[in-house]
Chain A
Amino acid sequence: MVLTVRVVIRGTGHTRRGVLGVAAATLGSSALAGCRIFDSGPDRPSAPDPLQPVLDEAVALAAAYDRAAAGQPGLAKRLTPLAADHRAHIAELTRVIGGTVRSAGASGASSGSPGPGTDAKVALAELRTAERSAQRTAATACRTAPAARAALVGSIAACRATHAEALR
């Protein structure tokens, strides 16, 4: 583009001001084109919401508790209220993000969760590890969240920390 402008100068003797005007106009239009291509194209899927990972983990954790309770009926009474907390988080996060809930299988956090036959102690330890990891995700999201979301995500981070404590 710069080369083209120089050629124009030599060939036609345009004043500097005129050339700069052309250059500015050219830059302006390419910047607009850039906007269309990279920033706000209606066909391009929008970037995931920063709270999507927090929601995904809530979905995965709720499912992990269900599986653990199914595999260890003796733990069900202890685990059911914690799963209910995650379901409350899913409802709030879904409302705030304004999207739909993906299935639990989509998240890697559920892959190592306990299933039938797992020892109760192991099941609790695995859930505790998952809660701690999910707490870190929520804490990180809280630090960078806009003011309107900070309290909600902060409460979710704190709740996950209390789950890790309740599983001890």
Chain B
Amino acid sequence: MFKREELSVDGVKTVVHSAGAGEPVVFLHGAGTIDGFDFMAPWAEKFRVIAPYHPGFGESGDDATFTDLHDYVMHYLELFDVLKLDTVNLVGLSLGGYLAAKFCSEHGHRVKKLVLIAPAGIIDPQHPILDVLAVPGDQIVGLLASNFEVVKKRLPERPNLDFIGDRYRESGTVARLFWEHPTDPKFMRYLHRIKVPTLIVWGDEDKIVPVQHADTWRKLVPHADIRVYKGAGHLVHLEKPEAADAIAKFLG
């Protein structure tokens, strides 16, 4: 049902999958793309759902000059211009949540509502984010969800070279951004600039971004509605249909 569109955004090949009509909901994926976009399919009944691949991930092209997260903020400003989207509802997962929050703290007037799913970006020495760059790829997949079935069905039956190559490429993109500086001490400083209605969802068994970070978000974005789902891991929106439903309800 998703329509695939290949765009050139400031010279970067950018592939966007979209479906439905209505208010735009843009999903910013995380540091990998195996989890897919299909969870948004039901939302297409009410919204125009838009799922771009970030440069350096999935079907989009590479740009070696993208060396920090701000390059991606600029990329999305450009993409929204190309798509003629004045304001969007922004949903970001993990790294994409970090990006969505950063985008919103800088360009809040382009965002109508903000949803963060297990967002990265918070520095909490007591509860550090898992350094995914240091974890072997075959071990990461097991850490993504409490219910491994939601991940397993998206994996090839046995690892093949293309799959391994695709994952290696995406981790290379992540390394380009975060190998030397995994955190940005300035990110949290400007989160108070997020003024739009905000929903944050988390699984209480998240093994990638600890659920304790929700407490910091609560302090920095006090108006945010924070919902924690029991028994779910990092991919809470895939593991708990009620989490995906809550997001759709919040947006609608």
A binds B: no
> Which B residues lie at the A interface, using CB under 8 A?
none
